[in-house]
């Protein structure tokens, strides 16, 4: 439980009363009560208000705000305000300003804009976190500490360049080792002095921006940049912990956010929190997958939904309204995947600057007679009724999908074999195959203990980090089923090819050898042809993008290519290894192929769907004290029905007892306690 002071799903969100007068604030408090709102995230962008100059700190307004929220029953998620530096700081200490990838020094403006290696930023961000923690350490309103806001971006300034060299020295010790790791003998890029190393930007190795000339330096820069920002976060984290060791400290993440290695960040976060902004056209499976990734960051620990919009965004090209019921449906979807809070950006809609057209609980009209407010209040009432019943419940998946940030960076900075390869899309295709059948799946890292799983899928495991191949082998030898795909096992953690035949370290376990990789044009297709019926798979299916030309070395051929000069060569294989099996999918087949393949494999392993339900109905499960909670989420606009079979259940939301054939309205939700 995040806090015993508020033993229910926290309900609230970002609140910026510094943009308003007192009367409005009083009116807000009245409406928060009507909506069942019990937490406000405050002080996110108030650094300039808190610190008007180098030596003055004004927290009086914050004292009053926290007190007045608390007195009216609203707890606080207290941000440290370092997501945007004050203008005076930029003028006086230009080192806080970033330099972009084209080498342009920025001026004051925007947010999330501080150089992570700026001595000034580090000094003052740590200091304000320290002052806030000292001041509010005993305030009963504060339940969660929110460091900065949505860390991201990059910087190519001289401070970053110097810090990069220090980071590299720590990592490689000698230039010899660095030259080897980066394969600098290529194009004569050998370094003889650490100071010869410059950041890989559009002025240097990433000239042209589509790919990098040197994967090694570019990969290390991505790692370094993620670490640099993590170090800023850690400074503030430690400053808070110094005063409040028992505090719950987080920063709001962004799902599949490429720049930061969230698995690494998660180690320094007491709880994961994230901001979820699906658009009208985002498939529910993508939102589900992002939530599962956030749950996976801390091995299944419940996380916070820190932000979602009650109605619309402002920053998408076309900012559709969330249709009636969709906000509630998406909120419960997030809870279904592991959230223990439901929070919004924002509680009141601002009148100026770029977020004035961003949805809010309280709209510009200012009163509660709006569709959005009514929907927010209905959900608030439901969450009050549900109370603590779902808190700390866990998903209990038997299948896992491996996700890895270094792999993501390496794949997508690669020159060749195709520009069409998108790592997250590939992950999603396999995720969707589980999701479409309502089979529970965890998103895991290469460091996760795999022993709890029966099936591990690692799409496009291009980079195999030290020890991971052995870990997978042990998993399969002990009876696990493993599946990987084309373009896997190619390089080590430095993006150096493992010679002796692809898929390198995975070759023995997979019982295959890949000789060549064909890249297809977007409208060029091949076929995957089943040798025999395999589950529901039979006949032929379309495939494209990349086709590995492979030979078996003990693996059995399940399907072959149907076209081109490699017609008849294996396209899908299975290898018995120890007590387990390892599958290889050598190309990118159409979704229905993957759906049937995963159905066959999960069925063979005895991994059951949570419930069989009609298309568009998601069923996810959380478990607590031996009780299962099945979240039935109807993403269709129409009423549908499903069969509970032998199950008898109580719907936590309506209180109804359900059995037999159950109907569910379009966009409605049921939480079945079984």
Nearest to ligand GLA of 28, 150 (CB atom): 150
Task: Sort 129 into a burial class: Cβ within 10 Å, 0-12 / 13-18 / 19+.
Answer: buried
Catalytic: which of 126, 150, 368, 375? Answer: 150
Query: Which residue of 47, 59, 345, 430 would you call a contact of ligand GLA, by CB under 6 A?
Result: 345
**Least spacing, CB of residue 320 vs ligand GLA, in Å:** 14
Question: Measured from the CB atom, is 93 or 277 closer to ligand GLA?
Answer: 277
User: Minimum CB separation from ligand GLA for residue 308, in Å?
Assistant: 9
Which lies closer to ligand GLA via its Cβ, residue 125 or residue 436?
125
Is 54 labeled as catalytic in the residue annotation?
no
Question: Residue 265's Cα: distance from chain center in Å?
Answer: 12
* Residue 206 vs 307, nearer CB to ligand GLA: 307
Residue 548 binds ligand GLA (CB under 6 A): no
Name the residue nearer to ligand GLA (CB basis): 345 or 629: 345
Task: Return d(Cα 120, Cα 126) in angstroms, integer.
Answer: 10
Exactly one of 218, 313, 341, 438 binds ligand GLA (CB under 6 A); that residue is: 313
Give the pair of three-digit tokens for residue 233.
Answer: 């976060």
What residues are paired with 560 via a beta bridge? 529, 570
Q: Please, what is the minimum distance in Å from the beta carbon of residue 14 to ligand GLA?
A: 6
Find the shortest distance in angstroms from Cβ 437 to ligand GLA.
32
Query: Which of these is catalytic: 126, 205, 206, 307?
Result: 307
Residue 145 preceded by cis peptide, ω within 30: no
Whether the ω angle into residue 340 lies within 30 degrees of 0, i.e. cis, is no
Minimal distance in Å, beta carbon 266 to ligand GLA? 18
Residue 184, Cβ neighbours under 10 Å: how many?
17
Per-residue string for binding with ligand GLA, 87-106, x by CB under 6 A?
--------------------
| Tokens coding 65 | 């705000």
> At closest approach, how far in Å is the CB of 358 from ligand GLA?
5
Pairing, β 399-402 against β 303-307: unpaired
Q: Which residues, 6 or more positions from 26, have their beta carbon under 8 angstroms from its beta carbon?
A: none
CA distance 230 to 296: 19
Contact string (CB under 6 A) for ligand GLA, positions 495-534, x = contact = ----------------------------------------
Identity of the residue, 125 or 252, whose beta carbon is nearer to ligand GLA in the bound complex = 252
Token reading at 241? 């912990």
In the block, tokens 């961003």 appear at: 358
Distances in Å between the alpha carbon of 349 and those of 353, 356, 357, 501? 11, 6, 8, 58
- What is d(CA 565, CA 578) in angstroms, rounded to the nearest whole number? 34
Give least dist CB 274 to ligand GLA, A. Answer: 9
Tell me if 44 sits within 8 A of 81, measured CB to CB: yes
Task: Extract the tokens encoding 577.
Answer: 């290894």
Token pair recorded at residue 336 = 């279904």
Give least dist CB 209 to ligand GLA, A.
18
Residue 149 binding ligand GLA, by CB under 6 A: yes
Q: How far is CA 84 from CA 111, 177, 222, 273, in A?
A: 5, 39, 22, 19
Rule CB under 6 A: is residue 150 a binding residue for ligand GLA? Answer: yes
Give every CB contact of residue 225 below 8 A, 6+ residues apart in sequence: 116, 154, 155, 160, 259
Residues numbered 238-277 forming contacts with ligand GLA, rule: CB under 6 A: 252, 275, 277
**In this structure, what token pair is assigned to residue 572?**
């899908």
User: In terms of CB distance, is 200 or 278 closer to ligand GLA?
Assistant: 278
> Considering only residues 220, 307, 375, 406, which one is a binding residue for ligand GLA as defined by CB under 6 A?
307
Cβ distance to ligand GLA smaller for residue 345 or 373:
345
In the region spanning residues 152 to 181, those forming contacts with ligand GLA, defined by CB under 6 A, are: none
Shortest Å, Cβ 403 to ligand GLA: 22
122, 337, 348, 358: which one binds ligand GLA (CB under 6 A): 358
Active site residue 515: no
CB closer to ligand GLA out of 30 and 111: 111
Q: Is the peptide bond before 417 cis (omega within 30 degrees of 0)?
A: yes
Give long-range contacts, CB 8 A cutoff, 24+ apart: 198-207: 198/161, 199/156, 199/160, 199/161, 199/164, 201/101, 201/102, 201/103, 201/156, 202/101, 202/102, 202/103, 203/102, 203/103, 203/156, 206/101
Residue 205 sits in the site that holds ligand GLA (CB under 6 A): no
**Does position 226 bind ligand GLA by CB under 6 A?**
no
Q: Which residue is nearest to ligand GLA (CB)?
A: 275
The count of residues interacting with ligand GLA (CB under 6 A) is 10
- Residue numbers at the binding site for ligand GLA (CB under 6 A): 149-150, 252, 275, 277, 307, 313, 345, 355, 358
Catalytically active residues are 150, 307
């Amino acid at each position: 439980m995040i806090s015993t002071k508020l033993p229910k799903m926290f309900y609230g969100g970002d609140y910026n009363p510094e943009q308003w007068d007192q009367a409005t604030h009083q009116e807000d408090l009245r409406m928060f009560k009507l909506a069942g709102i019990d937490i406000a995230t405050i002080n996110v962008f108030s650094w300039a208000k808190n610190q008007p100059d180098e030596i003055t700190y004004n927290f009086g307004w914050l004292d009053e705000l926290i007190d007045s929220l608390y007195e009216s029953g609203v707890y606080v998620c207290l941000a440290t305000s370092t997501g945007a530096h004050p203008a005076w700081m930029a003028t006086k200490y230009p080192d806080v300003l970033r330099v972009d990838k084209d080498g342009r020094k920025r001026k004051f403006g925007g947010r999330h804009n501080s150089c992570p290696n700026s001595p000034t930023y580090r000094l003052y961000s740590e200091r304000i976190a320290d002052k806030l923690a000292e001041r509010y350490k005993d305030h009963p309103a504060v339940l969660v500490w929110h460091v900065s806001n949505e860390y991201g971006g990059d910087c190519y300034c001289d401070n970053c360049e110097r810090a990069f060299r220090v980071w590299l020295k720590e990592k490689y010790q000698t230039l010899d080792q660095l030259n080897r790791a980066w394969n600098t003998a290529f194009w004569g890029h050998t370094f003889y002095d650490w100071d010869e190393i410059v950041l890989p930007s559009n002025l240097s190795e990433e000239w042209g921006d589509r790919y990098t000339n040197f994967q090694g330096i570019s990969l290390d820069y991505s790692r370094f940049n993620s670490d640099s920002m993590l170090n800023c976060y850690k400074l503030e984290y430690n400053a808070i912990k110094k005063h409040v060791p028992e505090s719950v400290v987080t920063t709001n993440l962004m799902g599949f956010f490429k720049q930061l290695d969230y698995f690494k960040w998660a180690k320094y976060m007491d709880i994961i929190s994230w901001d979820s902004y699906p658009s009208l056209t985002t498939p529910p499976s993508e939102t589900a997958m992002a939530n599962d990734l956030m749950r996976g960051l801390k091995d299944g620990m419940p996380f916070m939904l820190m932000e979602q919009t009650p109605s619309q965004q402002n920053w998408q090209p076309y900012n559709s309204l969330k249709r009636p019921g969709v906000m509630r449906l998406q909120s419960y979807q997030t809870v279904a995947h592991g959230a223990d809070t439901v929070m919004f950006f924002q509680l009141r809609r601002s009148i100026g600057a770029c977020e004035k057209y961003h949805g809010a609980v309280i709209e510009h009209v200012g009163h509660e007679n709006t569709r959005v407010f009514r929907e927010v209040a209905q959900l608030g009432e439901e969450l009050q009724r549900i109370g603590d019943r779902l808190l700390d419940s866990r998903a209990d998946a038997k299948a896992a999908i491996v996700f890895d940030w270094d792999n993501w960076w390496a794949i997508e900075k690669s020159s060749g074999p195709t520009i069409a390869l998108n790592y997250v899309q590939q992950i999603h295709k396999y995720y969707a195959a589980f999701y479409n059948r309502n089979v529970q799946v965890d998103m895991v890292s290469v460091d996760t203990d795999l022993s709890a799983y029966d099936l591990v899928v690692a799409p496009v495991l291009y980079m195999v980090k030290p020890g991971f191949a052995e870990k997978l082998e042990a998993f399969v030898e002990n009876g696990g089923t493993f599946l990987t795909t084309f373009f896997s096992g190619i390089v080590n953690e430095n993006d150096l090819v493992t010679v002796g035949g692809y898929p390198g370290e995975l070759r023995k376990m997979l019982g295959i050898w890949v000789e060549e990789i064909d890249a297809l044009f977007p409208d060029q297709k091949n076929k995957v042809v089943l040798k025999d019926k395999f589950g529901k798979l039979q006949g032929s299916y379309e495939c494209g993008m990349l086709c590995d030309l492979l030979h078996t070395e003990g693996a059995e051929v399940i399907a072959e290519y149907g076209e081109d000069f490699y017609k008849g060569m294996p396209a899908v294989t299975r290898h018995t290894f120890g007590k387990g099996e390892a599958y290889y999918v050598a190309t990118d087949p159409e979704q229905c192929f993957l759906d049937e393949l995963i159905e066959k494999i999960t069925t063979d392993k005895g991994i059951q769907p949570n419930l069989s339900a009609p298309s568009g109905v998601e069923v996810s499960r959380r478990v607590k004290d031996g009780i299962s909670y099945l979240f039935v989420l109807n993403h269709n606009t129409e009423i549908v029905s499903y069969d509970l079979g032998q199950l008898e259940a109580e719907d936590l939301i309506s209180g109804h007892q359900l059995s037999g054939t159950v109907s569910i309205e379009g966009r409605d939700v049921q939480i079945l306690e079984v």
